[in-house]
Amino acid sequence: MARDPKHDILFEPIQIGPKTLRNRFYQVPHCIGAGSDRPGFQAAHRSMKAEGGWAAMNTEYCSIHPESDDTMRLSARIWDEGDVRNLRAMTDEVHKYGALAGIEMWYGGAHAPCLETRSTPRGPSQYASEFETLSYCKEMDLDDIKMVQQYYVDAAYRARDAGFDIVYVYGAHSYLPLQFLNPYYNKRTDGYGGSLENRARFWVETLEKVRRAVGDDCAIATRFAIDTIYGPGQIEAEEDGIKFVEMADDFVDMWDITIGDIAEWGEDAGPSRFYQQGHTVPWVEHVKRVSKKPVLGVGRYTDPEKMTEIVTKGVVDIIGAARPSIADPFLPKKIEEGRYDDIRVCLGCNVCISRWEIGGPPMICTQNATAGEEYRRGWHPEKFAKAGSEDSILVVGAGPSGSEAARVLMERGYTVHLYDKAEKIGGHLNQVVTLPGLGEWGYHRDYRETQLNKLVKKNKHNVLALGQKALTADDVLEYGAEKVIIATGSSWNTDGVNCLTHEAIPGADASQPEQLTPEQVLSGEKKIGKRVVILNADSYFMAPSLAEKLAVEGHEVTIVSGVHLGNYMHFTLEYPNMMRRLHELHIEEIGDHFCSRIEKNRLEIYNLWGDGSKRSYRGPGVSPRDENKTHRWLEFDSLVLVTGRKSDNALYKELKAREAEWEANGIKGIYLIGDAEAPRLIADATFTGQRIAREIEEENPQYPLPYKRETIAWGTPHMPGGNFQIEYKL
C-alpha cells in the first residue's frame, strides 16, 4: 500500500548547514542507559531507527568534561580517545543506513553532581541545584569562562573524529548555556550578566567558537528551552526567548526547541496523563517567525496528520521525536509504505524516561518490548525467527503479557490459540484506561488487537477465543496443545496484605459492602459513599488516580499512605502535576501512616515512626504509653484497599501439581508469564510475553537465556586517553 500523497511533505530532504537530512523524521537526543560505556547497545538501538527510516539519530546528553559528571545517572561522554572509539560504533552503524548521527554536548553546572569524578562544576554564579542534592557550583571568573568554552571546542573536535555529523551545544533543561541566559541562575554584574545581550554572550561565543572549529565538517545545532514555564523572572518565549533566537541565528544550522527546565522537565516530555500530542506548539511556533534556519520541535508526534499539519503551517521544518521513535523505530517506513495501522503508537506513559530518572538502568518501553534489547538479546522489532517446531500453543489470558506472547508466536508461524474469559484483549488494562488521563495507555491493547486479528486472518489455524468460560486444569490438559502459556494476571488484595507488614490487616475484607478493591471501584459493582478513605501501600499510579476519579465524581477523599504516595511517578515525570491535581481537588493526604485494624465504617491508623520506629505494627495496645499519641480512628463511608497485588496463579499451580499427567495428554511444557508469575509494570509484563515467545524452543523457556554483557574486563590494558573500555564489533 502506498502512503497518502498528502504526507509526501514529510519525506522531503532538509539541508542543515553542510549536511542533508533525507527526510523530516529526526530522533532527538534521549537517554537509553547506554552512553559511551555500552557501545554495542548505543549503536544497535540508534541504528535500528536508521534502518526504520529516521533521518538522524542523536546520542543522549554527552558530557564534554569530567566537571560535567551526572553519576549516578548514565550519560554519554566524549572526554578522551577511548570515548571516541566507543561512540564511533554508533556513527558507523547509523551511517550504513544513510542517516546522520548527532551528539548533544553537555555541561551541567551545579546540575552535574560529579559523584564519580569528584570534580567541581562551574556556573555563571554560585547556587545550589534545585534538582540535585547538596550540589553547588563554583562561580566562573573570566579565565574559567574561556576554559569551559574551550572544553566545548575540544569536545567538538573529538565528536567530528568519532564520525558525528551534527554537533549540539546543549542549552535546554537548565544546563550551562541557559544558566548564563536565565537571570534565575545568572546574578553576574560583569559583561556576562545583567542585560540580555550580556547574558547571551557566553552561549553566542561558544557557538561561534564551535562553528569555527568544525563548522565545515559538521552541522551546528543548539537545543534551546525557549520558555522555562515559570513566567516573569526567567525565560519567556515572547521576551528573551525569541530575542535570543534572533541574536544566535547566524551561528547555528538548526534549532532544536524545547520548553521547561530540569526540575520539572515533564513540561517538555509531557506524560499523556496531562498532555496531548503537540502540546508544545504554542511556544515552538514563535521560532519560525524570527529564524532563517530549520527548526524542529518535539511533542510526542505519532500521527502523520498532525505531523503534516505542523510542517505545512510553518510551526516546524523537522519532526523531532524521542518517545515515538522508541515505541516504533520503523514509524517513518510504515508511514512511507502506507501501513498506518501497523504503527506502535507511543503511550506517553514515560516508563522509558523512568529508567534514566532512577539512575541509568537500560531503557525499557511499555509498547515496544524489544527496546533496549537490540544488542544484548539481538531482538528486532519487525523480524522474528521462523518457528522451530510444529507445536501448537495455548495462551491462557489476553492481557499485556498473553497478547504479546500470542502475537510474537503467530508472527513466527506457530499455531496459537489465545483464550480469555473477557470479551476484549487487554486484561486489567481495560480498567486502567478508564482512570483520569490514562486513555492513551489503551494504544498498547489496540496495537496487539489489530495485529492479532491480522495474524488470525492470515493463518486460519490461529484462534482468538474471547468471551469464553474460565478454563479448568482438566480443560487445559485435554485442550490438545503441545505447549501452554499461563498469563492469567494478578488482582488487588482483598484482605489488606501489604509491603509494610506482609500480613493481612485485621478487619480488611473487600467482600463487605463498604470496602472495595480498585477493581471493584472501576467496575462500578458497589455503591460508594460520600466520605472515601484510600488506604495505600502502593507506590505508583493507582491510589492518586483513584483519588482523582472519586473526587471529580463528588466524593470527599482522604488518602492514608504508608509509603511515598505515587513515588514512581517522580520517575515518569507525572508527580508534580499529579500532586497539583490532588491539591486542586482538596484531597487530603495523611502520609507516614498506616492501618492497624478496620471496623465498621472506621479504621485505626498509626504513625509509622510513632512507636519507636518499629518495622511493622504488632497489634493494638502494644505500648499503652504511645497508644494515645500515635493511634487514632478515622471514619469513612467507603474504604478502598490499595495495599498490594497478588498473582492469579491458581490454574498454573494445579497444572503444576498434575505434571505427571502432562505427557499422557501430549503436553511438552506449561509456562507462567506476566503478572501471573509476579505483579509488575505493564512494560515488564509485556517483556515476559515477548521473551518467552522468542525462546519457546529452548529446553526450559520459563527461564531467560543469558544475554550479552558489555563489561570492562579486570586487567584490560590502559588505552590511550585514559579510557579502559574494550573495543566492540557488531
Residue 598 gets the label, from left (phi > 0), alpha (psi -120 to 50) or beta, of: beta
Q: Which residues pair with 604 in a beta bridge?
A: 597, 633
The rounded distance, in Å, linking the Cα atoms of 209 and 150 is 8
| 583 close to 577: Cβ distance less than 8 angstroms | no
Q: What is the largest CA-CA distance in the chain?
A: 86
The reported pLDDT for the residue numbered 724 is 40
User: Which amino acid, 517?
Assistant: T
DSSP structure class, residue 243 = H
The reported pLDDT for the residue numbered 631 is 84
Return the C-alpha cell found at 723: 579510557
Residues sharing a CB contact under 8 Å with residue 454, sequence separation 6 or more, in sequence order = none
User: Which amino acid, 506?
Assistant: P
Return the C-alpha cell found at 151: 572544553
The reported pLDDT for the residue numbered 713 is 73
When computed from its CA atoms, the radius of gyration of the chain, rounded to whole angstroms, is: 27
Q: Return the number of other C-beta atoms located less than 10 Å from residue 410's C-beta.
A: 26
Return the C-alpha cell found at 615: 518495622
The reported pLDDT for the residue numbered 729 is 46
Q: Return the number of other C-beta atoms located less than 10 Å from residue 386's C-beta.
A: 8
The reported pLDDT for the residue numbered 717 is 57
Task: Please give the average pLDDT of every successive group of 10 residues along the chain, which has 730 residues.
Answer: 93 98 98 96 98 98 97 95 97 98 97 96 96 94 98 98 98 96 97 98 98 96 96 95 98 97 92 95 95 97 97 97 98 98 98 93 97 98 97 98 98 98 97 98 98 97 96 98 98 97 96 98 96 98 98 98 97 97 98 96 92 51 51 96 98 98 98 98 98 97 96 64 45
DSSP structure class, residue 468 = P
Burial of 157 (C-beta count, 10 Å sphere; 0-12/13-18/19+): middle
pTM (2 d.p.): 0.94
φ/ψ of residue 588, rounded to 5? -90, 135
Return the C-alpha cell found at 695: 525462546
The reported pLDDT for the residue numbered 618 is 52
Return the C-alpha cell found at 524: 462500578
The rounded distance, in Å, linking the Cα atoms of 19 and 41 is 26
Which CATH code is given to the segment(s) 392-489+648-695? Answer: 3.40.50.720
- The helix/strand count (H/E) of the chain reads as 22, 28
Return the C-alpha cell found at 407: 502475537
The reported pLDDT for the residue numbered 723 is 44
Q: Which CATH architecture has domain 5-358?
A: Alpha-Beta Barrel (3.20)
Q: Which of 61, 107, 168, 175 is an active site residue?
A: 175
The rounded distance, in Å, linking the Cα atoms of 46 and 100 is 11
| CATH 3.40.50.720 domain span(s) along the chain | 392-489+648-695
Q: Return the number of other C-beta atoms located less than 10 Å from residue 459's C-beta.
A: 14
Return the C-alpha cell found at 675: 503478572
Q: Is 175 a catalytic residue?
A: yes
The reported pLDDT for the residue numbered 2 is 87
| CATH 3.20.20.70 domain span(s) along the chain | 5-358
Return the C-alpha cell found at 513: 459492602
Q: Is the dihedral of CA 517, 521, 526, 529 positive or negative?
A: positive
| CATH 3.50.50.60 domain span(s) along the chain | 493-645
Q: Which CATH superfamily is domain 493-645 in?
A: FAD/NAD(P)-binding domain (3.50.50.60)
3-state secondary structure of 385: coil
Return the C-alpha cell found at 389: 517446531
The reported pLDDT for the residue numbered 491 is 98
3-state secondary structure of 188: coil
The rounded distance, in Å, linking the Cα atoms of 323 and 32 is 11
The reported pLDDT for the residue numbered 721 is 45
